[in-house]
Structures are given as C-alpha cells and as structure tokens.
Amino acid sequence: MTADKLITRRGFFSIVEDECDLYKITDKKLRLPFFQRLFKCGTVIIHVKDADTPIKEITAVKNPRMVLNLVDKYLNIQRDKYNIRGRDMMDMHSDNCNFDVK
C-alpha cells in the first residue's frame, strides 16, 4: 500500500499485480479464521469501485486490525483530498437497481 494506492499481488511463478486508488474503496471487512488466528493473522477484504476486480482479498496478514486501520486512515486522507465521501461513490444507475417501468 502506498499513500494513495492499494496494490495487490497474486501468483508464484506468474505474478499478477492489481492496483486501485484508495478513494475508490467502498467497504472493508476483516475475516479471522481459526487457523489464521493461531498465528495472529487474518484476511482483509476490500470492496472497490473497480471493473476488473471489485473484491480484493489480502489473506494471511499479520496484525490485520492494524492493516485495516491503516487502510482507513489513508482512505480518509485521499477522500478529503478529492472532497469525496462514501455516498459519492454509489452509482444510481448501476445494474443493482432494476426498475420495471410500464
């Protein structure tokens, strides 16, 4: 993570990197499975306003609560910079809102 971007990396031999601007994050979640908790790890799940990968999972993260707080801190800084709030990221014309007009 940088001050303005979230970069995820997957793969071992072939590596795929995906990055998104922090202000595009719409929701965050923390998952703490039993076996990850044994090693003080967790999974950070981030929902992003992104066409390619709208859900980004960062698995087996040490100190996941601290990582989530860090994402939240930089998210608020970026939203203040661009004067954007969470409600501004919602699209009124998305596919989730289907209205039947007759």
Q: Express each pLDDT in 41-71 by its tens digit.
A: 999 999 999 888 899 999 999 999 999 999 9
Task: Say if CB 47 and CB 28 are below 8 A apart.
Answer: yes
pLDDT of the residue at 83 = 87
- Percent of residues, the chain, with pLDDT higher than 70: 83
Task: Say if CB 2 and CB 23 are below 8 A apart.
Answer: no
pLDDT of the residue at 101 = 43
Task: Say if CB 63 and CB 39 are below 8 A apart.
Answer: no
Other beta carbons within 10 angstroms of residue 94's beta carbon come to 9
In whole angstroms, what separates CA 9 from the centre of its chain? 13
